[in-house]
């Protein structure tokens, strides 16, 4: 497929995908051309596909809990949980299972349908994984979908999580492969892809997205979407994070004083994710605390249909439940 003009860009999945079930192949140039469309044309195309594949007035609600905070050995330049950075985030022990279950019950009472558990590890050791498996079983028994983000998985660990009842595993690609080394040096891009392959091999759903606003160019944002859109199959959930700069991290030092990524560019990223991965849930993740209601509304119009719901995302703030409910009422949106 060669993209030469706005009119030539499809608003529906190619017929070949409908026949084979395989994602359409997107080149980097094609995705960059989507980013370059006029704002109204891009939103129109995204909304057309959104309505074809999803109810435009329903949003999936997930709650994220940090079950093990701080002390991570990685050097991700955005992360306040890295042990090597001085961010005020302490290395805490893993939460007790009962406390995690209580948090999950509260999340369900507040309307969440999925409960995500995150741990600040490079990857879990077996002694770490055993209590997490019990957490998954207990949360699953509440009638919630379950998700974990625990870092890189070794052989056999994905199968254990699947057996415990885990529905989704989150492992983000963060950014385009050509600039990944500027953000993280303690693991390779292929390491992330290997974990995703293990998750797929175990029969679990994939939750995989990235972060924008880390000083990347538009073409590099297109490169991230290209990586995600060419995974086969597409991730069932695609979290798009807006960088929350935390003092003490390298990216805070690098970007401090620079103008933040314009809100229209973030909305464009949501729209391009929707067009290239039409059946996926596209999630507004980190950074919503910094967004006003109008920007969030534009994100929903551009195809976002999932949010993290609650007071906190791992170690950064998140709009509270009452604020989200008020926005949903204004927009006529209901939870799935």
Q: Which residues are catalytic?
A: 72, 76, 79, 116, 147, 207, 283
The position carrying tokens 């509260």 is 106
Torsion of CA 38, 296, 262, 242, to 10 degrees: -120
Q: Among residues 163, 294, 295, 201, which one has the least CA distance to residue 240?
A: 295
Give me the half-sphere count of Cα atoms (radius 13 Å) on the Cβ side of residue 37: 28
Q: How many angstroms separate the CA atoms of 255 and 156, rounded?
A: 40
Q: How many angstroms separate the CA atoms of 196 and 228, rounded?
A: 11
CA distances from 314 to 67, 78, 80, 308, 310 (A): 9, 13, 10, 11, 11
8 A C-beta contact, residue 331 and residue 296:
no
Q: How many angstroms separate the CA atoms of 164 and 176, rounded?
A: 33
310: left (phi over 0), alpha (psi -120 to 50) or beta: left
Q: Among residues 169, 95, 103, which one has the least CA distance to residue 142?
A: 103
């Amino acid at each position: 497929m060669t993209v030469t003009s706005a009119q030539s860009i499809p608003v529906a999945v190619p017929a070949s995908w409908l026949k084979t079930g395989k994602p359409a192949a997107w080149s980097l140039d094609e995705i960059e051309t989507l980013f370059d469309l006029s704002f109204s044309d891009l939103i129109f195309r995204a909304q057309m596909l959104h309505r074809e594949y999803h109810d435009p007035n329903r949003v999936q609600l997930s709650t994220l809990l940090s079950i093990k905070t701080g002390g991570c050995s990685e050097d991700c330049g955005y992360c306040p949980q890295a042990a090597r950075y001085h961010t005020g985030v302490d290395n805490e022990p893993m939460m007790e299972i009962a406390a995690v279950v209580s948090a999950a019950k509260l999340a369900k009472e507040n309307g969440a349908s999925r409960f995500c558990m995150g741990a600040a590890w490079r990857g879990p050791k077996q002694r770490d994984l055993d209590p997490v498996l019990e957490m998954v079983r207990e949360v699953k028994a509440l009638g919630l979908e379950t998700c974990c983000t625990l870092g890189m998985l070794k052989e056999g660990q994905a199968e254990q999580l699947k057996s415990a009842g885990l529905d989704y595993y989150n492992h983000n690609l963060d950014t385009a492969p050509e600039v990944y080394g500027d953000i993280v040096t303690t693991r390779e891009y292929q390491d992330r892809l290997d974990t995703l392959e293990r998750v797929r091999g175990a029969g679990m759903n994939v939750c995989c997205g990235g972060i924008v606003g880390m000083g990347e160019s538009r073409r590099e944002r297109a490169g991230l979407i290209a990586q995600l859109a060419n995974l086969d199959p597409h991730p069932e959930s695609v979290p798009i994070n807006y960088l929350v700069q935390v003092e003490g991290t390298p990216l805070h030092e690098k970007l401090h004083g620079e103008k933040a990524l314009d809100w229209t560019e973030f909305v464009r990223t949501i729209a391009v994710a929707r067009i290239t991965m039409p059946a996926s849930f596209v999630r507004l993740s980190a950074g919503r605390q910094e967004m006003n209601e109008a920007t969030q509304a534009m994100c929903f119009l551009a195809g976002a249909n999932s949010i993290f719901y609650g007071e906190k995302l791992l170690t950064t703030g998140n709009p509270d439940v009452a604020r989200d409910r008020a926005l949903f009422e204004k927009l006529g949106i209901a939870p799935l």
